[in-house]
Chain A
């Protein structure tokens, strides 16, 4: 038997934990949490030292709420213990290593035992199932293969679901479009910005997207407005998925058919939302920074890992029948934020402001400069055939509208510059939205 009836219809049996009664789920979480805290305490010197500093032992954890007293783990901890300092398994049991690209200095390294890989495949399987992908689908995996967790994570998840997987990896847009057509691809995994790039090329070459039905998009924040445009322009259903290497890779959470928040696979990852400045746990429904604790990870348990992703936990039940709590879509990260003239700005706010005006998918970049001690923000927007006019007046009007919309949204003035198509650097992976040229 490989399917299960639920309010959403028929899903794979591996999705059964998605529908656990809440009480059973909480019991399971507490049981696993105690185990993981003990494992971290006994096997990882850093975790032990941090707990001892606060007079905590694994026995201090009697209820899920007690976790709030435990110390956080941050990205710098992974760098400081580079490469293997946070491993809780001997190397003989570690069967896979991944590493983040690391924009500065050393990358961070993450490890998996065979059991960890099995969990990873399972949560990615449940991700695909929640996005309406099933056996018989042809999945083009355009996440990068290699040290990045996206490629292999999606690969094994889709394979264990029983779908046909094409391990494309990122890049080579023409080839991606050819394979999509010729192999009858029905589902695509990529970053949303790379899909925009594919869509644009497909339109230019009039190649189309063949039988593509579902997009499983993750690895960077994107907005609901962007989703509406993607769906309208391409005719596919675009789902948001969530994950990070430090926790497991993709597969931490996923949207379901309702596309209204992402269910967290809470039986493996325990969520809290905290005030980013004080670290205090916030009540459900309040916006803050997502903090995750792995409940089953052997090789590299994470206790209260600060994700830097801003969201809120939505405890109310979902119509799909999943009992897993949802988080609001992550459209910003606390470290994406930049401050200009004392105002906190997230690139996603600029994106929303642009989409409110323009009738098309914007390629944009934010450029920050400083002249005579004064900060200025410029938003470069590529001109598309949809908005281009032969009249200067119409283009100037568009520019003013965009600039007013940004000012209205952010409360600060921004110069909008129209630029030629494809002058803003296209990413095969994650979009680089902010160019900070201020010399501080």
Chain B
């Protein structure tokens, strides 16, 4: 199952550094579907989900960025109090630790939120979650949901 691909970029914690990759993607006409910026005292990591990840990777590499590609698990969570807590119980039952997570922008309320999770060994994790009855969306499903 083709999972959601994330591009991660190394950034120095300096004014103006976030602009470089964003400009490069902009010039190439690549839309950012969602993103998260992690920062430490010294450096930051920009994590991106885009539509054409392979083209985006080349564009970013040509702009001089260091890029890695990671699989993420996209999971829909009920948009109500306790929705995420319920899902995390499933993670616990599957003995899975979460590295980090972030949401897709949801726009109008539609009853559920779409989150992406970074876990060790994503394929194995997806399989274990499926056995717990958790549905992991593949890349096409995510795109379709965002389009719809």
* Structural contact, A388 and B12, CB atoms closer than 8 A: no
Residue of B nearest to A416 (CB): B42
Could you tell me the dominant secondary structure of chain A's interface residues?
loop
A392 contacts partner chain B, Cβ-Cβ < 8 Å? yes
A266→B17 CA distance, assembly (Å): 54
* Structural contact, B64 and A390, CB atoms closer than 8 A: no
With known contacts A391-B99, A420-B17, A383–B66 Cβ distance under 8 A: yes
* Structural contact, A390 and B6, CB atoms closer than 8 A: yes
> Could you say which of A389, A390, A399 has the most chain B C-beta atoms within 10 Å of its C-beta?
A390
With known contacts A418-B10, A419-B12, A392–B64 Cβ distance under 8 A: no
* Structural contact, B66 and A390, CB atoms closer than 8 A: no
Residue of B nearest to A393 (CB): B99
* Structural contact, A390 and B43, CB atoms closer than 8 A: no
Chain B residues with Cβ below 8 Å from A2 are none
Can you give 15 A-B contacts (C-beta < 8 A)?
Answer: A204-B61, A384-B66, A385-B68, A388-B8, A388-B66, A390-B6, A390-B8, A391-B99, A392-B40, A395-B40, A396-B40, A420-B17, A421-B64, A421-B65, A423-B12
Q: Give the residues from 58 to 82 in chain B that come closer than 8 angstroms, CB to CB, to chain A.
A: 61, 64-68, 70
Tell me the B residues contacting A by CB distance below 8 Å: 6, 8, 10-12, 17, 38, 40, 42-43, 45, 47, 61, 64-68, 70, 99-100, 118
Residue of B nearest to A423 (CB): B12
A422 contacts partner chain B, Cβ-Cβ < 8 Å? yes
Chain B residues with Cβ below 8 Å from A385 are 66-68
Chain A residues with Cβ below 8 Å from B38 are 392
**Shortest distance between the CB of B22 and any CB in chain A (Å):** 15
A331 contacts partner chain B, Cβ-Cβ < 8 Å? no
A211 contacts partner chain B, Cβ-Cβ < 8 Å? no
**Shortest distance between the CB of B65 and any CB in chain A (Å):** 8
A417 contacts partner chain B, Cβ-Cβ < 8 Å? yes
**Shortest distance between the CB of B74 and any CB in chain A (Å):** 16
Could you tell me the dominant secondary structure of chain B's interface residues?
strand
Chain A residues with Cβ below 8 Å from B47 are 390
Chain A residues with Cβ below 8 Å from B17 are 420
Q: Which of these, B6, B10, B100, contacts A388 with CB under 8 Å?
A: B10
Residue of B nearest to A389 (CB): B68
Q: Give the residues from 386 to 440 in chain A that come closer than 8 angstroms, CB to CB, to chain B.
A: 388-392, 395-396, 399, 417-423
Chain A residues with Cβ below 8 Å from B66 are 383-385, 388, 420-421
Q: Give the residues from 336 to 357 in chain A that come closer than 8 angstroms, CB to CB, to chain B.
A: none
Chain B residues with Cβ below 8 Å from A383 are 10, 66
Q: Give the residues from 248 to 304 in chain A that come closer than 8 angstroms, CB to CB, to chain B.
A: none
* Structural contact, A420 and B10, CB atoms closer than 8 A: yes
Q: Which of these, B8, B42, B45, B64, contacts A422 with CB under 8 Å?
A: B64
A98→B64 CA distance, assembly (Å): 38
Chain B residues with Cβ below 8 Å from A389 are 8, 68
Residue of A nearest to B118 (CB): A390
Encode contact with B along A170-213: 1 for CB under 8 Å, 0 otherwise. Answer: 00000000000000000000000000000000001000000000
Residue of A nearest to B62 (CB): A204
Chain B residues with Cβ below 8 Å from A419 are 12
A356→B122 CA distance, assembly (Å): 30
Q: Which of these, A384, A390, A392, contacts B70 with CB under 8 Å?
A: A390
Among all A-B residue pairs, the 9 with the closest Cβ atoms: A390-B8, A388-B66, A383-B10, A390-B70, A383-B66, A420-B12, A388-B10, A388-B68, A385-B66
Given contacts A385-B66, A391-B45, A392-B38, 13 further A-B contacts (CB under 8 A): A204-B61, A388-B67, A388-B68, A390-B6, A390-B68, A391-B100, A418-B10, A420-B10, A420-B11, A420-B17, A420-B64, A421-B65, A422-B64
A423→B17 CA distance, assembly (Å): 12
* Structural contact, A417 and B8, CB atoms closer than 8 A: no
**Shortest distance between the CB of A415 and any CB in chain B (Å):** 9
**Shortest distance between the CB of A95 and any CB in chain B (Å):** 46
**Shortest distance between the CB of A48 and any CB in chain B (Å):** 58
Chain A residues with Cβ below 8 Å from B43 are 395, 418
A395→B12 CA distance, assembly (Å): 13
**Shortest distance between the CB of B43 and any CB in chain A (Å):** 6
**Shortest distance between the CB of B68 and any CB in chain A (Å):** 5
A417→B118 CA distance, assembly (Å): 26
**Shortest distance between the CB of B99 and any CB in chain A (Å):** 6
**Shortest distance between the CB of A280 and any CB in chain B (Å):** 47
**Shortest distance between the CB of A395 and any CB in chain B (Å):** 7
Encode contact with B along A372-390: 1 for CB under 8 Å, 0 otherwise. Answer: 0000000000011100111
Residue of B nearest to A382 (CB): B66
**Shortest distance between the CB of A362 and any CB in chain B (Å):** 14
